[in-house]
Amino acid sequence: MRNVRNTLKHVKMFVFLSFFALLTSGICAQDAGKIVKSVQDKYNNSKDISADVKQSMGGKNGFNGRVYFKKGNMFRAELNNILLISDGETTWNYNKKENKVIIDRFDTSNPVSINSIVNEYPSKSDVKASSEDGKTLLTLTPKKGSNLDFQQVKLWVNGNNLVDRIQVKQHSGSVLELQISNYKLNQGTADSQFSFNPPHGAKVVDLR
């Protein structure tokens, strides 16, 4: 059971990073406070967001695919053989290769909570804005006692005001990187895309 939850935690962190980067689209090289305000405004004015993502850790390729988000803590991540879905109340983690689905309650305090990412994480971190290789660089460092699940996060914003790279240093010292592209906003993604019915014959592990 512990291994199952550790796997879920790793995948959820991946989705959290993707979503934080998505929310930062549309910002420009301003001071850190204005950038955080732009992130919050971007979320409030976006009904749904999606993008292609590619992850690596320690120089080795990991997850890649497409992620979708919609107001109400709804998300969908299509990553290699993994399908991770939440309707804001329940989370489904489906391994296509193993035909196995893990069902759990959606936890508003977990890394993929929209409210936490938009309203809580910035206030619990020291955020600095700088410039690197012609791009805006945001550095997010948790404040002492914040208990955030990373040491530091860096976001690179390209000339089109979109985040195309994100890097997170975890407490273990390992470095996780994401490449992000092909953004789509307000596409009218149906709510049905954020629910899941296990296929016939699938092994179901219910942790609720």
Q: Supply the CATH number for residue 154's domain.
A: 2.50.20.10
Predicted confidence band of residue 207 (pLDDT cuts 50, 70, 90): very high
Quote the number of domains for the chain: 1
- Provide the CB-side half-sphere exposure for 91 (13 A, CA): 24
pLDDT in tens, 58-107: 778 888 999 998 888 898 999 989 999 999 899 999 999 999 999 999 87
What average pLDDT does range 45-54 have in this prediction? 88
Mean pLDDT within 13-31 = 63
User: What is the average per-residue pLDDT within 19-43?
Assistant: 68
CA–CA dist 40, 195 (Å, integer): 26
Q: In terms of pLDDT, which residue wins out, 171 or 191?
A: 191
Pairing outcome for strands 100-105 and 203-206: parallel
Range of the domain at 31: 2-206
Per-residue pLDDT at 41: 76
Bridge partner residues of 165 (DSSP): 156, 179
pLDDT exceeds 50 at position 29: no
